[in-house]
A and B are shown apart, each in its own frame.
Chain A
Amino acid sequence: MLIENLLMALKAIWANKMRSMLTTLGIVIGTAAVIAVVSIVQGFSQVITNEVQNLGANTIIVQPFRPPGKEGDKLGKIVLTWEDGQAVMRTCPSVSVATPVVQDFLEVKFGEERSQYPVIGVQPVFQDVRNYYVDQGRFFSALDETSRTNACVIGHGVLTELKLPQDPIGRDLLLAGRTCNIIGVMEPKGEILGQELDKFVMIPFGTAVSLWGHTVEENTHFLVRASSPEIVDQAADEIENTLRVRHHLRSDQPSDFKVSTQKEFLKSFTKFANGVTYVVAGVVSIALLVGGIGIMNIMLVSVTERTREIGLRKAVGARRSHILAQFVIEAITLALVGGIIGIAMGIAVGAIAAKLIPNWPGFFIPVWALALAFGFSSAVGLFFGIYPAAKASRLDPIESLRYE
């Protein structure tokens, strides 16, 4: 009986192809949106998780930060000094190493080639803190730092953009008029979400201080490495306490800096992803509602058009439940056809998005999203199909047979 109903439903839908297609448009759009957005959000999560893993789960970022509102305005100058960083290393038992990071855009020249790059001042421990190492040559030594040598380590992207030779070690770059000797090239990282990760020049922190003077303090943040990933939260608390004491903050004042762990970063990303999901869920539920009303409408039309058929079926022995089942199944089938088309379109959109965005980890749709799309479209068919089907099942056979 079920198979009979299913075949009948498909036949009826096929007989009115255009009408059925238009009717299911709402459902098609709804499910396509679900599938596309889920696959894209999943891709994003993958990228972000990869990035966090790259950075190292035990990395902590400490930045100067003016808290919003009146309390923040009262705090005066917001700065982090390298003395703060040294105090952190001295007093926080869960912290292993820390490096200041200071950054500014400078014009970089090699021969006739020139371009603007972020120039970053870091200390020798940077490699270990960031889990990011040189590919050619060497990184800064303690000597580079203390004697403020004019050495630099370049990102892989600079190599090609400034037309440097394949082995650039020992060549000189001109950084805002200062000659810097290339001692190393960092390993290539490619790009993430359209952001180039290989176009920068690094110099020793000491050299940066001599280059920019004391303005570095206003642009400084720290990268801190906790002794192990398990005690990252503990390390963050210690840093918070140490810096609050150093900055003479009363207990009722907010901190003039921000300590962020990767965990927090992941948390805020998850929040963002959830936000996107809720918005899409809202749009989708409206699309499904509209789609459902469309199905109800077309089913009512169909019941009216097929009044004689219903009368005949009843005359030859169809019970109410038979007619009810026939039309409910037709509505569900209609909705499911829409759902399947929607899923196919969603997959296509997701796959195209995955192709277009560089560094995308590849197209992926979780099974639960497919199950959800299927489930929702059949639920919509069931919900909005019941009323027309009930109407059909209650038709009087005598009047139905007489219906013109």
Chain B
Amino acid sequence: MSALIDIRDVTKTYEMGAETIVHALAGVSLAIEGGDYVAIMGPSGSGKSTLMNLIGCLDTPSTGSYVLKGREIATMNDDELAQIRNKEIGFIFQTFNLLPRADAVQNVELPLVYSGLPRRERKARAEKALDAVGLGTRKHHRPNEMSGGQRQRVAIARALVNDPSILLADEPTGNLDSKTGEEILALMDELHRGGNTIILVTHEDELAQHAARVVRLKDGKIISDVRNSVVGA
């Protein structure tokens, strides 16, 4: 059986100006099984953001292959990538990225709008997702009426609402105080136990403790890939 994510010999190069070529990823191969909780770590400039963008189907590799759920992503065009993101990826950002003029339900239902679901069903699923992250009483609050932790919960509900194959979290606690950050991490642990595949991109070792597997990058290459025996049961 093939893995959920199968990345093989992927490189990503950027042309910065006429002469300078930056190798953001210099040959990365990585396989992730469904239901795993993987932390991707590395200092800035290590290529972890580039790898995250590739896994999140926001970008395609320069060379190499990326198969997600049996489908080759590397050769897809923009609109095909958008559809894959819509179906398979749930993003959780450091800065939440909520629409300021929309309330919680409207924010959460956004991916469903682009899947073309009817209004009634969207609302029902958005409310269910908000219940699941413990925001059942805050459904019609706008982001500016909520705390940072509540905002990130809305963002997590939005990431979950389409029932994606991967939850992709980029420094999800970076804008939160440590206590709220812990709550969010606990929520993610819970989601992991519920069967979700989570990929966490961070530079903090403490966060990586929550993951079952830690992949470290440096200069566009994987330098270590270990299982966290403590938590990853």
Contact = CB atoms under 8 A, between A and B. Distances in A.
A217 to B, nearest CB: 82
Nearest to A7: B106
10 contacts: A11-B101, A313-B114, A315-B56, A317-B82, A318-B114, A319-B79, A319-B82, A320-B78, A320-B79, A398-B58
A317 B79 contact: no
A127 B212 CA distance: 109
A309 B59 CA distance: 18
Contact of A309 (B83, B86, B89, B99): B99
A4 B113 contact: yes
B110 interface: yes
A123 B147 CA distance: 96
Interface residues of B, number: 25
B144 interface: no
B91 interface: yes
Contacts of B158: 316
Contact of B91 (A15, A316, A318, A320): A316
A318 B82 contact: yes
B91 A315 contact: yes
A319 B114 contact: yes
B85 interface: yes
Contacts of B86: 316-317
Interface of B: 53, 56, 58-59, 78-79, 82-83, 85-87, 89, 91, 93, 97, 99, 101, 110-111, 113-116, 158, 162
A319 B91 contact: no
Nearest to A397: B58
A247 interface: no
A91 B87 CA distance: 94
Interface string A7-37: 0000110010000000000000000000000
A313 B101 contact: no
Contacts of B58: 315, 397-398
B216 to A, nearest CB: 22
Contacts of B89: 315
Contact of A317 (B83, B93, B99, B101): B83
A244 interface: no
Given A15-B101, A309-B99, A398-B53, A315 B79 contact: no
B79 A316 contact: no
A398 B79 contact: no
A310 to B, nearest CB: 11
Nearest to B116: A1
A315 B89 CA distance: 9
A4 B85 CA distance: 20
A55 interface: no
Interface string A22-66: 000000000000000000000000000000000000000000000
Contacts of A4: 113
A138 interface: no
Nearest to B159: A316
A148 interface: no
A15 B91 CA distance: 27
Nearest to B80: A319
A308 interface: yes
Given A317-B82, A318-B82, A318-B114, A401 B93 contact: yes
A225 interface: no
Contacts of A320: 78-79, 82
Contacts of B85: 314-317
B99 A312 contact: yes
Nearest to B85: A317
A322 B115 CA distance: 11
B71 to A, nearest CB: 15
A95 B219 CA distance: 106
A11 B58 CA distance: 28
Contacts of B53: 398
Nearest to B93: A401
B109 to A, nearest CB: 10
A317 B97 contact: no
Contacts of A397: 58
Nearest to A314: B82
B101 A316 contact: no
Given A317-B114, A319-B83, A12 B78 contact: no
B33 to A, nearest CB: 24
Nearest to B168: A315
Contacts of A11: 101
A318 B116 CA distance: 11
B210 to A, nearest CB: 23
A394 to B, nearest CB: 9
B110 A316 contact: yes
B106 to A, nearest CB: 10
Contact of A398 (B59, B110, B114, B162): B59
B114 to A, nearest CB: 4
Nearest to B158: A316
Contacts of A315: 56, 58, 85, 89, 91, 97
A397 B59 CA distance: 9
Contacts of B110: 312-313, 316
Given A12-B101, A398-B53, A316 B78 contact: no
Given A311-B97, A317-B87, A398-B59, 16 more contacts: A1-B113, A4-B113, A312-B99, A313-B110, A315-B85, A315-B97, A316-B114, A317-B85, A317-B115, A317-B162, A318-B82, A319-B78, A320-B79, A321-B79, A398-B53, A398-B58
